[in-house]
Amino acid sequence: MQLPEQPKAGAGRESGPWLLFLSSVEVRFGTVLSNPSRIFHMDVPDPILKSGSLIVRRVEQSDIRLLTRWLSTNEVLAFYGGRDKPYDAGRISEEFFQRDGIIRCIVEWEGVPIGYIQFYRCEPKENLDYGFATTESVWGMDQFIGETGYWNKGIGSRLVREMAEYLLSRGAAHVVTDPETWNTRAIRAYQKAGFLKVKLLPRHEWHEGEMRDSWLMEYKRT
């Protein structure tokens, strides 16, 4: 589920805080989804999460420069999006401010913007691919730390754990993420946070010229 861009389309029954129905063309790192409809989302405050040194807040226009820098850096692109697809400011402006049901956020650590996280309700077809019932409220997350000096300090695992708890507290039945199988650092970080590998997703994601396998990982409270 990479990509800052529109993965999931939604349909089905909604309850609780999940609302609103939108349409958009679905394009995600090589994946073009045929059903463009999408359930848009939940009533989220901003900042969405504030926990000690960690803040997750909605992306703003003033973040375009930062996102462009992160997503044009090979070190980051090697793990998120691909070095063959660097972003420029135009593409960031086009893709990061759509009303498509994806909640796009900047991650701040001790007041410094260091990364990005997006979350969204999975579409019914995706629920099925993942082994859930179509009507279940399954939420996906994609994330990266753009400031590479902040890698391997425990921030990523804390981020995904806190976001997963947040989504569960807002009514999600399942919270998932889907790192490519070779991304062992991401997998380790998610496991530390409480995510378990639940399903191998063969040829799941386009990355640097080929379809790559991913692990579906689900957050499980201990």
Ligand X SMILES: CC(C)(COP(=O)(O)OP(=O)(O)OC[C@H]1O[C@@H](n2cnc3c(N)ncnc32)[C@H](O)[C@@H]1OP(=O)(O)O)[C@@H](O)C(=O)NCCC(=O)NCCS
Q: How far is the CB of 214 from ligand X (least distance, A)?
A: 8
Q: How far is the CB of 11 from ligand X (least distance, A)?
A: 26
CA atoms 7, 10, 15, 19: torsion sign: positive
Q: Which parts of 146-205 interact with ligand X (CB under 6 A)? A: 151-157, 179, 183-186, 188-189, 192
51 lies in the site for ligand X, by CB under 6 A: no
Q: How far is the CB of 125 from ligand X (least distance, A)?
A: 21
Compute the distance between CA of residue 119 and CA of residue 142 in angstroms, rounded to an integer: 7
Nearer to ligand X, 12 or 83 (CB): 83
Gyration radius (Cα) of the chain, Å:
16
Nearer to ligand X, 67 or 155 (CB): 155
Task: Describe the strand order of the beta sheet including 49-51 as a list of residue ranges.
Answer: 49-51, 54-58, 103-109, 112-121, 138-145, 174-177, 210-219, 195-207
Nearer to ligand X, 25 or 78 (CB): 78
120 lies in the site for ligand X, by CB under 6 A: no
**Residue 54 pairs with which residues in a beta bridge?**
51, 109
Compute the distance between CA of residue 214 and CA of residue 23 in angstroms, rounded to an integer: 27
Where on the chain is the footprint of ligand X (CB under 6 A)?
A: 76, 79-80, 143-145, 151-157, 179, 183-186, 188-189, 192
